[in-house]
Amino acid sequence: MWHEERLFINGELREASNGATFENINPATEEVIGVSADASEADFGEALAAARDAFDESEWSTNLELRLRCLGQLHEALENHVDELTAITVAEVGATQMACSSIQVVEPLKIIPFYMDVAKGYEWSTDLGVTETLGGQCQRWFEKEPVGVLAAITPWNVPTQVNLAKIIPALAAGCCVVLKPAPDTPWTGLALGKLIAENTDFPPGVVNVISAADPAAGSYLTNDHRVDMISFTGSTATGRKVMEAASANITKVFLELGGKSALIALDDVDDFAMVAATAAFGMATVCGQGCALSTRILLPRSRYDEAVDAIAAMMAAVPPGDPTDSATMMGPLINASQRDRVERYVQSAIDEGARIVCGGTRPDDLEHGFFYEPTLIADVENSMKVGQEEIFGPVLVAIPFDDDDEAAMIANDSIYGLSGAVFSGDEQRALKVAKQIRTGTMSVNGGVWYGADVPFGGFKQSGIGREMGIAGFEEHLETKAYSKPV
């Protein structure tokens, strides 16, 4: 299988300095598909030194034309390797072919031309005119500059999407980056190093990609004074550690964290088919391992049984299966410990008095792989563990409500605020509820908010900052004001 297992440091593809490697496991077969370089602390240090030098010494931060040329070359290389990227994404993430043709591989590539256009058209300098200030006449203006060296730390669930959403706006803005993908999905990250090395004019050190077996090896980046900004996507628990480490050098943090989003179906929906399809197919796309998925399904008490039946029927239509089969709609969980975690949550729901409507077990027909049946849990109270905590597996919880205000109140009763959805026969009524939810994105009656131009991020403990869109570009800029006497 086409892949890269070497680190990409200072423009070179190379082994870890101590020669160490770690295994890459296919979650659908439990087989070892190969290895990746296991970077040492010294390798992290070299990657940071290279990024620092590239930012401080090369023309990358000031030469927009060079940046656009290199990003265009990377985009072309990625477009030419969609099949190879799909193959490694299926193998190391357990992603389905369908997911690869959308959110896992194909859609994220659009991030590159989007940010090339943004950088090209951006107002890098803004004139504030001449004014009388503190007794003198001065001409004032401000300029935007890249933040500097970016440490990008990413999770395993949609790795190409997150890797590109992290590094592309930063590179377009003029930053230099060290990307550390998650240990479960190193190849999708290291492939970027390979494609850059073999197809582009990126100056050495502008992009570095570094894999390591120890998940916490990312801390070599978060507490280093050479880093100007940490861009982290992962769990809220790790986000807290990242923020704590960043405090040592007051390093800027940009955090995309967990979610426990609510889909609200109001009592005037025609039927629950659309609601059920949105809930079940969304969950299936990444086997429930999506930060922005609606995993709490809030249903009107007056039609609760009808809605639960519709959702259960739709979930039965997405059984887990072999992700190499193009008809499969849901693959496995990423690893055994993630499956154990899901099982613990399902047991906690049973212990707290909730009812398993469907699923709740591993599939009988799949001997290998970290598969789990799509699971719907009913009679859930929002205060239960499964109502409050991110499960990150194919598990939806159905919570009843009595009126629109109570639905909004339940949706907001969460430490998270990443996404959500509202369905109603009356669009205005749906919008009224959507506006009450403290969350970064909302879908109204099935609207799809995902896209390179749409700012994405969280309220509350779902994060700090916005990825994608113009906002995602400006996260990587500093503002410097100037004045001169006239």
Give contact residues for ligand NAD (rule: CB under 6 A): 153-157, 162, 180, 182-183, 215-216, 218-219, 222, 233-235, 238, 241-242, 256-259, 291, 390, 392, 418, 458, 463
In terms of Cα–Cα distance, which of 372, 53, 334 is closest to 181?
Answer: 334
| Nearest CB to ligand NAD, comparing residues 400 and 417 | 417
Catalytic residue among 4, 5, 256, 390: 256
User: What's the closest the beta carbon of residue 182 comes to ligand NAD, in angstroms?
Assistant: 4
User: What's the closest the beta carbon of residue 106 comes to ligand NAD, in angstroms?
Assistant: 18
User: What's the closest the beta carbon of residue 463 comes to ligand NAD, in angstroms?
Assistant: 6
User: What's the closest the beta carbon of residue 202 comes to ligand NAD, in angstroms?
Assistant: 22
User: What's the closest the beta carbon of residue 389 comes to ligand NAD, in angstroms?
Assistant: 10
d(CA 159, CA 168): 14
Catalytic residue among 291, 358, 373, 390: 291
Tokens at 448, concatenated = 């799809």
| Nearest CB to ligand NAD, comparing residues 179 and 266 | 179
| Nearest CB to ligand NAD, comparing residues 286 and 354 | 286
User: What's the closest the beta carbon of residue 169 comes to ligand NAD, in angstroms?
Assistant: 14
| Nearest CB to ligand NAD, comparing residues 45 and 204 | 45
d(CA 425, CA 69): 48
Residue with tokens 């706006």: 169
d(CA 442, CA 468): 16
Find all residues with CB under 8 Å of 205, minimum gap 6, and list them. Answer: 10, 11, 50, 51, 52, 53, 54, 58, 176
| Nearest CB to ligand NAD, comparing residues 58 and 348 | 348
Instruction: Name the closest residue to ligand NAD (Cβ).
Output: 218
Catalytic (active site) residue 256 = yes
| Nearest CB to ligand NAD, comparing residues 95 and 314 | 95
Q: Which residues are catalytic?
A: 256, 291
